[in-house]
Amino acid sequence: MYFDLCLRAWSLLGQTPAAPAVNTTVTNSAATAPAAAGGITWLAVVRYILMVLYLLVCIGLIVIVLNKNTKSDGLTGLTGAGGANQSSYHGKKSYEENLSMASNYLAVSFIVLSMVISLVMH
């Protein structure tokens, strides 16, 4: 899906704008203006913006997950004993806590963007 959209974008960028076709029927000029201007509609622009946002969220999620350190080794993470070394005071958040919060936000935005893109593409 993403690869197909990238190929369409490259083909649109490589084309020269064609002369607008002469329409003999009476239509609303505001509805046909974007298509006649360059062949790109507002829905196509929304699709491209969503795909760029989706790509940035994917890259951000990959980078954050790769930067996280695992505190649990083996089966201790399953039993819950791996989180025993976390601080109990409510001071300034650590780097790991900030990474965890950012990965949660990026994961939710990844899921939401996936659903929105699947609706917009059809």
Specify the pLDDT at position 95. 84
Angstrom CA distances, 84 to 29, 34, 87, 99, stand at: 67, 60, 8, 19
Q: What is the pLDDT of residues 34-55, one digit of tens each?
A: 454 567 888 888 889 999 999 9
Specify the pLDDT at position 82. 52
Mean pLDDT, residues 84-101: 73
* Alpha-carbon gap, residue 117 to 112, rounded angstroms: 9
Query: What does pTM read for this prediction?
Result: 0.54
* Alpha-carbon gap, residue 54 to 112, rounded angstroms: 10
